[in-house]
Each structure stands twice: as C-alpha cells, then as structure tokens.
Amino acid sequence: MIVTRGLFWSRIELQVGARASRFRGIRSKDAAAFKHAFTVSRQSLQLLQLTAEFDAAARQATLWLNSFTDALTEHLQVKGWITTEFGTDWAARKAVVGFSHLLDDEALQTHIGAQPADIADMIAHWSKDLQAVIARENQNHLERESDECREFFDNVESAPLTPEQTRAVICFDNRMLVIASAGSGKTSTMVAKAGYALHRKLIPADKILMLAFNSAAAKQLQQRTRDRLTPLGLDADKVVARTFHAFGLDIIGQATGKKPSLAPWLEGGKDIEQLGRIVDRLRATDVMFRSE
C-alpha cells in the first residue's frame, strides 16, 4: 500500500496480485487512518498465519519427541550404548520438522509464553542439544554398567580392568578407535570386550570375530579368550580369533569358490624387504611418485 500525500488531499494505491487500484481525492487525515488500519490488519493476519504454523509444527515436534524418547529407551534396554548412527538419524528427523526457527521469532514470543504446560515442557526438551543428550545417556549407561558388572570387570583378567579399559569395553558404538601404547593392556581389553558382549547377551558368541596382525598373536588371543572366559561360564569356544590375512582369504574363498595362494614374501619377515623393493622401483620409474 502506498499513500501519496498532497497539500489537502492524498492518493492511495493498493496492489492486489497483479492488479493496482488507485484512489484519489481522499483527505490526508483519512488516508493516514486507513493506512494505519490496513497495516494493523495485515500484521494481524500475518500473526494468525504464523501462530497457525507454530501450532502445526508444535504438534509435529511433540510426535518427534515422543518417538525419540521411546526409541532411546528401547535402544538403551536392548543394545545399551547409543550409537553415532542413532544420533545422526534422529537429528535428521528433527531437522525435517522445522520447529526450531519458529522458537526464535520475535512475533511469536507472546504466543509461545502462553502455551500450556505440556507444550512448554516439550519446547524445553526440544531446545536441548541432541548430541549432548545422547552423550549424557551414554555416560549414565557407562556408570550403571561399571557398577552392575564390577565383579566381571574385576575378574575377567588377572588384574581388574582400569577405568579406561572399562570404558572401552562398555562402549559399543558401531565403530570405535582405541589408541594405546605397547603393554597397556590391549589384549586384555579385547578379551574383556568379547566377554562383556557375552555376559550381557549383546552378541552371540559365533558372531564375534577378533583380528590380529600375525599368526602368533591370533593364537595367543584365541587361547587367552578361552582361558579367561570359559571359567566365567561364557561360551568362549565359539569366539573366533584370526589374522587379517586368514580372514581375507576366507572371504575371497567363499565369494569365488577358490582361495588365492599367498605371495611367498609374506612369511618370514620378507614383506618389509618386498615393500622396500616396490618403493625403490616406483622412485626409479614414476616421476610423480618420486616428487611427492
């Protein structure tokens, strides 16, 4: 709406869609009053539309929150540790609802402040950082399991597990990296993790595979698993420890019906020598490799 004021009279121009309407010969006082009324009416209409959008989004946000709470409770009961994928999935579902930006709209603050207790409670939970909520639940799970399984953690190895080892054992995210120095108890942690999975019935014994880099380490891991877990009444015989090579050969054999033969330089420490020869050949023949 455009009001053009004259000395005594004003002109009003209204734009409705592609059509413009002009009204001339209107007293300036009346034109000003009309403009004010028009502006107030338009703002009221916009606020009505905005509150309707908020109410609809609030219903969707309530459905999301209820579903998330149910899924979180079930996940904790069935699987324990809340995985990264779980958090990513529910964060994506939350973003689709499109409710967060409405909570910051200045025009909606009075409407938000007048919401009933159940919606106000939903808003308070919605506003929490999802990853922080999951991190807190995982910390609570860690503390509960540390207490409830204390006897297991104290006896699964010759010495009680340290707090760091205990956390590595209880954490059952889909991918986990543990960085530890030599002699810090990596084998103990692997054995304990397999035992904890069986103790808490998280994974069947025949679904547990532990991998080592050489045959001696794989044999030691297999024997240690049986020696430590069998006395605890756990089905350690079905837990498998292999080398990466043996496991890879099995997969190829199952997929192709024929296991490939290993290169002769893989045994007896000749692999480092072969790697050195490959590097030397590349440096001699490949300019790009030599310049990197």
Is residue 137 helix, strand or coil?
helix
Is the same domain home to 190 and 221?
yes
pLDDT tens for residues 228-273?
Answer: 999 999 999 999 999 998 899 899 999 998 888 777 777 777 888 8
pLDDT tens for residues 2-26?
Answer: 666 666 666 667 665 666 666 666 6
**Structurally, how many domains does the chain consist of?**
2
Supply the pLDDT for residue 134.
Answer: 96
Can you tell me the mean pLDDT for 52-79? 94
Can you tell me the mean pLDDT for 28-54? 68
Is the same domain home to 177 and 127?
no
Is the same domain home to 175 and 226?
yes
User: Is position 238 within any domain?
Assistant: yes
User: Is position 213 within any domain?
Assistant: yes
DSSP 51-103: HHHHHHHHHHHHHHHHHHHHHHHHHHHHT-SPPHHHHHHHHHHHHHH--HHHH
Q: Domain with 233 in it: what CATH number?
A: 3.40.50.300
pTM over 0.85: no
Residue of higher predicted confidence among 100 and 40:
100
Can you tell me the mean pLDDT for 132-137? 96
| Strand arrangement of the beta sheet that strand 9-16 belongs to | 2-5, 9-16, 19-27
3-class SS letters over 152-219: HHHHCCCCCCCHHHHHHHHCCCCCCCCCCCCCCCHHHHHHHHHHHHHHCCCCCHHHCEEEECCHHHHH
pLDDT band at residue 288 under the 50/70/90 scheme? confident
Is the same domain home to 133 and 248?
no
Q: Which two tokens stand for residue 11?
A: 């002109």
Supply the pLDDT for residue 23.
Answer: 63
Is the same domain home to 134 and 168?
no
Is the same domain home to 10 and 127?
yes
Is the same domain home to 168 and 107?
no
User: Is position 271 within any domain?
Assistant: no
pLDDT band at residue 90 under the 50/70/90 scheme? very high
User: Is position 149 within any domain?
Assistant: no
For the chain, percent of residues with pLDDT exceeding 90? 59
Supply the pLDDT for residue 9.
Answer: 64
Is the same domain home to 68 and 31?
yes
Which domain does 212 fall in, by range?
Answer: 162-260
Q: Is the pLDDT of residue 41 over 60?
A: no
Is the same domain home to 125 and 206?
no
Q: Could you say which of 107, 139, 171 is where a domain stops?
A: 139
Q: Is the pLDDT of residue 182 over 90?
A: no
Is the same domain home to 8 and 108?
yes
User: Is position 151 within any domain?
Assistant: no
Can you tell me the mean pLDDT for 103-113? 89
Supply the pLDDT for residue 206.
Answer: 94
User: Is position 59 within any domain?
Assistant: yes
Is the same domain home to 36 and 90?
yes
With beta carbons less than 8 A apart as the criterion, state whether 100 and 65 touch.
no
Can you tell me the mean pLDDT for 223-232? 95
Greatest mean pLDDT among 37-46, 167-176, 266-275 lies in: 167-176
User: Is position 157 within any domain?
Assistant: no
User: Is position 145 within any domain?
Assistant: no
For the chain, percent of residues with pLDDT exceeding 70? 84
